[in-house]
Amino acid sequence: MSCYRLEVARAALGTTRVIELPALAALSPAAGEAILTVDKFALTANNITYGVAGDMIGYWQFFPAEGDWGQIPVWGKGTVVLENDSGLNIGDEFYGYFPMASYLVVEPVQATERGFTDGAAHRQALPGVYNNYALMTAGNGFDRQFDDHQMIYRPLFTTSFVIDDYFDDNDHFGASNIILSSASSKTSFGLAFLLRKNRDVKVTGLTSAANKAFVESLNLYDQVVAYDALDTLDASENVAFVDMAGNRQVLEALHHHFGDKMVCSCGVGITHWESRDGQPPSILPGAKPKMFFAPDQIQKRNQEWGPQKFQAELSAAWQAFLVVVDGWVSINHRVGRGELEETFQEVLAGAKPDQAFVVSLE
């Protein structure tokens, strides 16, 4: 099996190259290191956002590349194939943050029966959540029939869960209607699922004309409105905006439409990355737009509830989501470098919302 990785030009994500890597047989880990094959991983708009926000948030630093090239991180599964006094066992499988590459060299620290942290020096300044690898055992909460769901949805649904809790915790900021952009995205419909399930608040989905029928078919939103029909929204009620699209035109149009009735405006994603123009944000009527930072709310709940209750609540919501999500989105498996490159371009350009992708490189 040949080993390789996919790199992207950091300033032009559509430009990619494949770099050949030394064969595994030629590798011998240094003391304290382990090598995991990257068996499979999910690709969604979230990964594209890692590239779009790579310089802002430091995503390029996880898996460095040379010069103007970068490696986009993905959520996936890896297996330990080589190790040298690392605390890991050959054959152990881990869920975590990987490059789109045949393998990853890690320097495990704090290895327990639950997982380990990559202690590699270049990752130390980065948020801990991305450096942790979870052992995929039943005892550690992994139901292996849902490996694909874990890598596609879990990072997204966890964010949906935390946003839902943030709104609950703040009495919806007084809004009676919560508006989500990129309503067709997995993070948005996960949030709509939770908002609808947990309480009595109206949920409005904004989407592109091409994705409107899909969003309507989910039956999760009280109303679905295309981006070019924002002026049809009822401006008499207090609204909150959860922005998954990061599209300045949409943001400005909504704030001007609702004025002071916009009581919360919370930036989460940048799916409409091509719409970004690098201009500084304008002063808008209504609540000041601010970025949502999930770790703050997680930390608050861990203090108030304790980590066990937080995990139990998340796990119950996740189980309920797993029951329904396959009715909305089909999972496609893609294999090999040609299909990896095709899938990357497809997701970059905006894949069909009823399709999700799991890629393996061999």
Ligand X SMILES: NC(=O)c1ccc[n+]([C@@H]2O[C@H](COP(=O)([O-])OP(=O)(O)OC[C@H]3O[C@@H](n4cnc5c(N)ncnc54)[C@H](OP(=O)(O)O)[C@@H]3O)[C@@H](O)[C@H]2O)c1
CA dist 181 and 244 (Å) reads: 5
In angstroms, what is the minimal distance from the CB of 157 to ligand X?
Answer: 9
Query: Which residue has the CB atom at the shortest distance from ligand X?
Result: 269
H/E stretch holding 341 reads helix 336-349
In the complex with ligand X, the residue whose CB is nearer, 108 or 267, is 267
Cα 94 from chain centre? 18
In the complex with ligand X, the residue whose CB is nearer, 70 or 108, is 70
Nearest CA-CA partner of 63 in 93, 104, 102: 104
φ and ψ at 292, to 5 degrees?
-80, 130
In the complex with ligand X, the residue whose CB is nearer, 119 or 342, is 342
Could you count the other beta carbons within 10 Å of the beta carbon of residue 218? 22
In the complex with ligand X, the residue whose CB is nearer, 270 or 359, is 270
Contacts of 245 (CB under 8 A, 6+ apart): 181, 182, 206, 269, 270, 271, 272, 275
| Residue 170 DSSP label | T
In angstroms, what is the minimal distance from the CB of 251 to ligand X?
Answer: 13
CA dist 258 and 70 (Å) reads: 40
In angstroms, what is the minimal distance from the CB of 47 to ligand X?
Answer: 7
Map residue 327 onto helix, strand or coil.
Answer: coil
In the complex with ligand X, the residue whose CB is nearer, 108 or 155, is 155
In the complex with ligand X, the residue whose CB is nearer, 111 or 255, is 255
In the complex with ligand X, the residue whose CB is nearer, 77 or 106, is 77
State the Cα torsion 206-207-213-214 to the nearest 10°: -100
CA 19, 48, 141: angle at the middle one, nearest 5? 95
In the complex with ligand X, the residue whose CB is nearer, 37 or 208, is 208
In angstroms, what is the minimal distance from the CB of 138 to ligand X?
Answer: 26
In angstroms, what is the minimal distance from the CB of 271 to ligand X?
Answer: 3
CB 17 within 8 A of CB 69: yes
In angstroms, what is the minimal distance from the CB of 349 to ligand X?
Answer: 5
In angstroms, what is the minimal distance from the CB of 178 to ligand X?
Answer: 15
Positive/negative CA dihedral, 131, 135, 138, 143 = positive
In angstroms, what is the minimal distance from the CB of 36 to ligand X?
Answer: 23
Q: List interacting residues with ligand X (CB under 6 A).
A: 44-46, 49, 156, 159, 182-187, 207-208, 211, 244-245, 268-272, 274, 294, 349-350, 353
CA dist 36 and 48 (Å) reads: 23
